Amino acid sequence: MKKLSYEEIKLHRPDTKELFRLQRFPVVTVLENIRSMYNVGSMFRTADAARIAYMYLCGYTPYPPRKEIEKTALGSTESVPWEHSTKPVSVLRMLKQQGFTIAALEHTAQSISYFSYCYRYPLCIVVGNEVEGISDELLSLCDVALEIPMFGIKHSLNVAVAYGIVVFHAVMTYQLEHTII
């Protein structure tokens, strides 16, 4: 087995201009009141890798340009379509009107495991604050709550890690059902 060099890997990746001509997966994300700029940067990097359609950075979630975001985003703030909104409720209502299924990544009395859910697209995945989670107001607009099963003493993962798990699962589920590369 030979490890690929950065140059060899880059040969098989689109550049930013080509990326914006490619079909994106019908998944958008809403980040509500994320505190850490490093988490936001990590979520940008995941969004790029998964080629999701759009990211909404809502509430007091920090947004580019910020060096702390770029430290973990590594340029993906330029390859992911995004916008900032101080009104996350308006964003979710707009997405619902456009036919999106709204899925909260949150522990609730009705949460189901992210891998048991039958995903419907277009899909919006909502993630919330690292401590408080998704606000009750936003949660009331969600169609389903998804959770990641925990087997240790901690009840949750870092928000950027959880985001990556669920976003990639949603994208891969879509890819298995449709032809998109």
CB atoms within 10 A of CB 47: 28
Tell me, yes or no, whether 51 lies in a domain.
yes
Q: What does R_g of the chain's alpha carbons equal in angstroms?
A: 16
In a domain, residue 15? The reply is no
Whether 21 is covered by a domain: the verdict is no
The one-digit pLDDT tens for each residue of the chain (181 residues) are 999 998 988 888 888 888 888 899 999 999 999 999 999 999 999 999 999 999 999 999 999 999 999 999 999 999 999 999 999 999 999 999 999 999 999 999 999 999 999 999 999 999 999 999 999 999 999 999 999 999 999 989 999 999 999 999 999 999 988 876 5
Please check whether residue 33 lies inside any domain of the structure: yes
The verdict on pTM exceeding 0.85 is yes
When divided into structural domains, the chain yields a total of 1
Domain that holds residue 31: 26-177
Q: What is the DSSP letter of 59?
A: T
Is 16 a member of any domain? no
Domain of residue 59, CATH code: 3.40.1280.10
The sheet carrying 25-32 orders its strands as 82-85, 52-58, 25-32, 123-127, 101-105, 144-147, 112-113
